[in-house]
Amino acid sequence: MLMRGLRIILPIALFLGLIRFWEWSVVYLEIPPFILPPPSAILAVFATDGASLLGSAWTTLGTTLAAFTLATVSGTALAALFASSRIAEAALSPYAVILQVTPIIAIAPLIIVWVGLDNAWLTVLILAWIAAFFPVLASATAGLKAVDPNLRDLFRLYRADFRQTFIRLMVPSSLPYLLAGIKTAGGLALVGAVVAEFAAASGNTDGLAWRILEAGNRLQIAKMFAALLLLALMGVVLYAILSFVEWLLLHRWHGDRRHA
């Protein structure tokens, strides 16, 4: 119980201490605010530019969630296709890997040309989707292959058809793997959305990346920090929500699978 309390109190205490030290050192060492603004100045930005920052955060969050949803659905669907057809897997999996290993920032100009500058939001969505897609595909494929061979035999013995085997055996078996991949995909969707905003959409969308660039050009460093703070917050909350969903779905039966 004491340990548990410390696990919450210690990081918060450390955080407050560091903030205090930051504030103090900026003033004491006379660091100019266009190099490192004090925390109080960053907080003040939310009073002056809060509305525009939150609006941008809303845009980036929307893209992230849409890309994440697309990646989860398409990654799972393709993994299911791979599991049901070796031919499809042999034919398609190299392309999935190529899509994964090619840096999205390098694909960005091509996507812009294809989609058109008028649809910058679509470019960002596509790029963020590509970034988040692969971990879902890889983990779902691994999960679908990790089915206990004895259980598979049991289903064959009772003459289960593919649909029954898929829904009752393969999906639940692969769930722990899939959820781990989805958790990674959540973070990558955010990274992908911001990178894509930088690469493809400056001036054409109003995501947080654009606010960061804009503030940088005007040497509004405090505003840059404020935007970064919002991004970090979004990433943490997304990860926390996905971790909670994972816990909700798995904690009862996934405690120790070795003896199951």
Partner 1 sequence: MSSGLRLDRLAKTFPNGTAALGELSADIEAGAFVSLLGPSGCGKSTVLRLIAGLEEPTRGRVGWPQTRGSLGFIFQEPTLMAWATATNNIALPLELAGMAKSEARERARVALEKVGLAGFADALPRELSGGMRMRVSIARALVADPDVLLMDEPFAALDEFTRGKLNDDLLRLWAERRFTGIFVTHSVFEAVYLSQRILILSGRPGRLVADIENPAPYPREPGYRTSAAFNATARDILDALEDVSTC
What is the contact surface with partner 1 in residues (CB under 8 A)? 148, 150-151, 153-160, 164, 168-169, 172, 175, 252-257, 259-260
Closer to partner 1 by Cβ: residue 140 or 227: 140
The nearest distance, CB 233 to partner 1, in angstroms, is 34
C-alpha–C-alpha distance, residues 49 and 44, integer Å: 9
Q: How far is the CB of 183 from partner 1 (least distance, A)?
A: 19
Q: What is the dihedral of CA 45, 51, 52, 56, to 10 degrees?
A: 110
Closer residue to partner 1 in complex, CB, 81/154? 154
Smallest distance from partner 1 to CB 173, Å: 8
- CA-to-CA distance for 242 and 132, rounded, in angstroms? 14
Q: Which is nearer to partner 1, 44 or 147 (CB)?
A: 147
Residue 114, classified by CB atoms within 10 Å of its CB into exposed (0-12), middle (13-18) or buried (19+), is exposed
Nearer to partner 1, 52 or 153 (CB): 153
Q: How far is the CB of 156 from partner 1 (least distance, A)?
A: 6
Instruction: Report the alpha-carbon distance of residue 81 to residue 96 in Å, rounded.
Output: 13
Q: Which is nearer to partner 1, 7 or 252 (CB)?
A: 252
CB 194 within 8 A of CB 231: yes
205 DSSP assignment: B
Shortest spacing between CB 215 and partner 1, in angstroms? 49
Name the residue among 181, 100, 110, 195 with its Cα closest to residue 144: 181
